[in-house]
Structure 1
Amino acid sequence: MAVAARAMRRPRLLLVLAVFVLAATAAEATLHPVDYLALQVVRRALSDLPGSRFFASWDFTADPCAFAGVSCSGDGRVVTLALGDPRAGAPGLAGAFPTAALAKLSALSSLSLVPGRVTGGLSSAVTALPSLRFLALSGNLLSGDLPAAFSPALRTVDLSKNAFSGRIPPSLLQLRGLRTLVLSHNSLSSEIPRSVSSPLVHLDLRSNRLSGGVPPLPGTLVHLSLAGNRLSGRVGAVLRRLPRLSFLDLGRNWFSGEVPGEVFSFRIGYLQLRKNAFSGELRPAGRVPPGSTVDLSHNALSGRVPPELAPAGAVYLNGNKFAGEVPREIAAAAEGGRMRVLFLQDNFLTGIGVGGVPTSAAVCAHWNCVAPPAAVVAACPAKGGRGRRRPPAQCGGRNG
């Protein structure tokens, strides 16, 4: 009887083992072998920073298509690879960027890496993957030159806050479908490529070492930031052709010439031109949008303050050569609290016209050709002095 019972149990045991083997094989078979091996290399190359548990689910005895950050197509190819915990403040990853392994994911359409301490370079073997549409590797320690070739399918490229150097590849700005390009906070140098044919909506090249002038840019742009470079020359002709702009930051460069009046009539909520060499009078073609920020500080602008700035929520005109009286519309906006910031210090104004302002507003008008009212001195930066008035000799002998 015992022998018979053991004989009956043996087929059942073999059946269970067969089902287990088939299940394990099926789990592995859900992913293409090349992609399976590539993910194993990625896992060996990268690790969680202290406090991160991103790779906790990467157990290769299970289906890799169920791993955190991995999505697969129906035919078992990796199409999305989002490396690291995307939640704000979560620790990132460390290690060497696994270029060779990632290049084998031939169906990859989206590749992202959360901010961390991943080192290494970037090669065309990855950036030119034929299906790649989204590439975001911001906030790591990647370095070296940018690749010369990029996938024609790319729509978004964000390589900001790394240590990339060298030139911006001309091919990158000629991709037919590229809408967003963010290369800010790197060490890129030389000029912006002269031919920009991509239908860009968002272009951010701030905080690099770019020099030269600004080439013609696509009229599709809504967001443009070139701040914190070494760019120079006149930009009026370029800006006039960007009527869709809602965000413009050219601060901390060496731009010169007049500020084109057209930009004030755009639907621009943030206009930042501070610390350049813009000169001449302001002649706005229209009133700025209500609540907008206009920062023209630390230039060489002259003439009268235009009343078209009155709808703005914050206006910085300090450090210029403005003269005459502050328009009543602007003074009323500050007194009524509609304009929360009005900085007029370090100009040649002969009439301020701003009386009491609410505590919610910050107004400063010292170092002009008239002493500012006591009510508008409290908000002045301490390093700029308080309540001072220019000597009459600097104001043509006028007493205000």
Structure 2
Amino acid sequence: MMMKWVLRKKAMLIIGLVHLLSLLQFSLFTNAILDPHDFLALQSIRNALEDMPGSDFFSTWDFTAEPCDFAGVYCDGDRVIALNLGDPRAGSPGLTGRLDPAIGKLSALAEFTVVPGRIIGALPETLSQLNNLRFLAVSRNFISGGIPASLGQLRALRTLDLSYNQLNGSIPQSVAGLPALSNVILGHNRLSGSVPTFASQTLTRLDLKHNALSGSLSPTSLPPSLQYLSLSWNQLTGPVDRLLTRLNQLNYLDLSLNRFTGNIPGDLFTFPISNLQLQRNSFYGPIQPVDQVTITTVDLSYNRLSGQISPMFSSVQNLYLNNNRFSGHVPGSLVDRLLAASIQILYLQHNFLTGIEIDPTAEIPVSSSLCLQYNCMVPPVQTPCPLKAGKEKTRPTGQCIEWKG
């Protein structure tokens, strides 16, 4: 009996040890020690960067502890899958230094972001080794050099935000050709060359404003999936009517401060756009919306547009048609909406308009602004105008006669 009891106790002890070992193995699996390659990569990244005065982002980066608990480091098992460098809270001073090429060793990385700071130098070519990278955002720093063409190897990349840096050179076609891109934000750099053809049919946001891009746009250079397009403050030329008619999903369009020419298609005003900025280009010809325009803000100022103003614009809240070549009478529907305070801004100065049906004693609502000066008529009401409109109330008679002729 005693022997059986001893054997039973030994068996129970062995079962308990096996169970304990299983628990330890499970614990080690779920709380795995960071992969050595990732550990060394994080050390190199840390050594190349410093907190700016007032930032304490790296205070938790103590390599005697588990790196997966560091601020901005996110792991899955023993691999780093996301790295967000810098305190993301608004107003954080950010980081200074350089981005170390060792980042390419974080082979499981899917997300890499850097908060605004004073990081200098070029983007590491080793970023192209991150085959799982889906989100890359290094904006509002002092990154210089070109956009590495090797980033075109990141076939899973969906968001690329390199805005507000000092990048120069052209936008690589290899990057524009990435198939999964949905957001490309490269504004406020020093990029030059032409706008490449973007291949992704899921691209919804393209922001290239404030660069030095030039050349014309092919009618098929941008996918019809686009919802947000900003190309303002560049040196782009040529017509865009055939391109714009394809982009019928747009809800924001800014092509201002370029050198675009040709006609503005009437279909454009039926798109689900809330803000349309086409000012300071060389668009010409009449504007003929096919239906009532429901866009909140339409800015067509400083172009070469001509013909009569369409009454279809009477539903627009902020309408800038100044500094063009419009002629004829201002539609009565625009006047009615203005006096009802439905139109807040109606700028018609510096055109060739010959009349407007408005009572000289009419009071313009306090919430609305009307400017009529420097047309081929004496403004029937005196309203404050922007300083840029100058002081002359009407055009010289000779200009108006010549325009009619």
Q: TM-score when scaled to structure 1?
A: 0.88
Root-mean-square deviation (CA, aligned residues, Å) is: 2.1
How far apart, CA to CA, are the structure 1 residues paired with 2:65 and 2:380?
Answer: 73
Q: For the Cα contact (< 8 Å) 1:169–1:193, is it kept in 2?
A: yes
**Structure 1 residues 398 and 69, CA gap change in structure 2 (3 angstroms):** closer
Aligned to 2:317: 313
Question: In terms of mean alpha carbon deviation, does 255-264 or 81-90 score higher?
Answer: 81-90
Q: Which of 207, 210, 216 lines up with 1:207 in the alignment?
A: 210
- Aligned partner of residue 310 in structure 1, secondary structure: helix
Equivalent of 2:83 in 81, 84, 91: 81
Q: Following the alignment from structure 2 to structure 1, what is the Cα–Cα distance between the partners of residues 182 and 73?
A: 25
8 Å contact kept, 2:301–2:324: yes
Give 1:64 shift.
1.2
Greater CA deviation, 57-66 or 214-223?
57-66
Unaligned runs of 5+ in 1: 1-21
In structure 2, distance between residues paired with 1:286 and 1:53 = 56
Report if the CA contact (8 A) 1:352-1:365 is conserved: no
List runs of 5+ in structure 2 lacking aligned partners: 1-23
Report the equivalent of 2:163.
160
1:6 alignment counterpart: none
* In 1, Cα distance between equivalents of 2:349 and 2:57: 51
1:362 to 351, 360, 369: 369
Q: Distance in 1 between matches of 2:402 and 2:96?
A: 65
Tell me the alpha carbon deviations over residues 272-318 of structure 1, each in whole angstroms, 9 at most, x when there is no partner.
Answer: 1111100000011222225x110000000000111111111111111
Amino acid at match of 1:361: S
The number of equivalent residue pairs is 370
Corresponding residue number in structure 2 for 1:192:
195
Aligned position for 1:223:
228
Runs of 4+ in 1 over 6 A off after TM superposition: none
Q: C-alpha distance in 2, partners of 1:196/1:255?
A: 23
Residue identity opposite 1:310 in structure 2: S
Whichever residue aligns with residue 158 of structure 2, its letter is R
Structure-to-structure mapping, 1:74-113, within 5 angstroms: 74=77, 76-98=78-100, 100-113=101-114
Indicate how the Cα distance of structure 1 residues 87 and 395 shifts in structure 2: closer, same or farther if over 3 A, else same. Answer: same
Report what 2:6 is aligned to: none
Name whichever of 352-361 and 154-163 sits farther off: 352-361
Q: Is 1:322 the equivalent of 2:323?
A: no
Cα gap change, 1:195 to 1:346, in 2 (>3 Å): same
What residue in structure 2 maps to residue 258 of structure 1? Answer: 263
Identity over aligned pairs, percent: 47
| Matching residue of 1:114 | 115
- Shift in Å at residue 372 of structure 1? 2.0
Conserved? CA contact 1:94–1:117, under 8 Å: yes
Letter of the structure 2 residue corresponding to residue 77 of structure 1: R
Matched residue, 2:69: 66
Aligned position for 2:278: 273
Q: Distance in 2 between matches of 1:46 and 1:196?
A: 35
Match of 2:352 among 323, 331, 348: 348
SS in 1 for 2:283: strand
